[in-house]
Amino acid sequence: MPYIVFDRPKWSTFPHDISIDEKEHFSTMIAEQELSDIYNPLGSLLLRLYTLHQERSTALEQFFHQDTPAPKPFIIGIAGSVAAGKSTFANTLIQLLTAADQPLKATVLSTDHFLFPNHVLKEGNMMDLKGFPESYDWDKLIHALHQIKLGKRTNVPIYSHETYDILDHEQTIEKADIIIVEGINTLQYHSQAQGLPKLLDVTIYLDAEERDLFQWFWKRISELKKKAEQDPTSYYHAFKEKSEAELLQLAQGVWDKVNGRNLYEHILPTRSHADIIIKKRSDHTIENIKIRDTFI
């Protein structure tokens, strides 16, 4: 699928509709220059797409004589590999979109919350397939997104990276103007996904070289292990006695057996489904942005 490629200098010339002069108001690790050159134009584009979405919804409501229409949220899908930085990217966008002049409510929903609990994965001999399509409760995910698409509040499970499992309680996704759905599987088309991408209004894929993805994964594992040393409830507490070399070997094994395989079999093939592809460098800064040619 053809894309138009914009390098950093060109992208930074596009409209900056969001005031981010007060960077201290943004709880993000993103550098100020990156916020200005890359994220501000992207946020501005998404805000304009949101406005078009609202105008379309209003026109359809008027056509069908809906006297008390339920506001329909604008849903942004973000996909990419494990450790690509989807959560940080999504949360940065949320802060930008809610900092705009128009008062908007926005929230993030991770598809991690719809993984089957570990006991179900163990019963099905799928622990080594965590993150693969068969490890998700697709019925629950599609139902939740359908409710969100209709502008309804919905309860969803909670996945914890610390315990590496689904928690016993749920969270409520309230009505919002903008919902960002982020996860490795948001762009997957197969029988289980039941047309998930069709519920999304605009889709973004975070792209990076595999060597960088593994380094980010290794950094995450190291941080989780360090954080878990004094927390016996953490899944990573069991690794507290492992040396750095042993932990690195473990992380490499997990990557080769699970995450890397999942990347090439199920995640990377969905990149061409995205409306926007964002290529990241090894330091997480953005190298270029590709926009599907039929999108413009």
pLDDT in tens, 19-41: 876 555 566 678 889 999 999 99
Burial class for 41, CB neighbours closer than 10 Å (0-12, 13-18, 19+): buried
Supply the pLDDT for residue 191.
Answer: 74
3-295: which CATH topology? Rossmann fold (3.40.50)
Nearest to 6 by CA among 49, 52, 38, 51: 38
pLDDT of residue 99: 86
Distance CA 53, CA 72 (A): 9
Sketch the domain layout of the chain as residue ranges.
3-295
Give me Rg for the CA atoms of the chain.
Answer: 20
What is the DSSP annotation of 114-182?
GBPPHHHHHHTT-GGGTTSGGGB-HHHHHHHHHHHHTT--EEEEEEETTTTEEEEEEEEE---SEEEEE
Q: pLDDT, tens digit, for every residue of 122-166?
A: 999 999 999 999 999 999 999 999 999 999 999 999 999 999 999
DSSP codes joined into one string, 77-107? EEEE-TTS-HHHHHHHHHHHHHTSSS---EE
pLDDT value of position 144: 96
pLDDT at 101: 80
Residues 6+ apart with CB under 8 A from 179: 73, 74, 75, 76, 106, 107, 108, 109, 148, 173
The predicted structure's pLDDT at residue 66: 82
Q: Which helix (H) or strand (E) holds 45?
A: helix 40-63
CA triple 43-5-267, angle to 5 deg: 75
**pLDDT for residue 70:** 73
Per-residue pLDDT, 227: 92
**How high is the pLDDT of residue 19?**
84
CA distance linking residue 10 with residue 5, whole number of Å = 10
pLDDT at 23: 53
Average pLDDT over the chain, rounded to whole? Answer: 93
Segments in the chain below pLDDT 70: 1, 21-28, 193
pLDDT at 194: 74
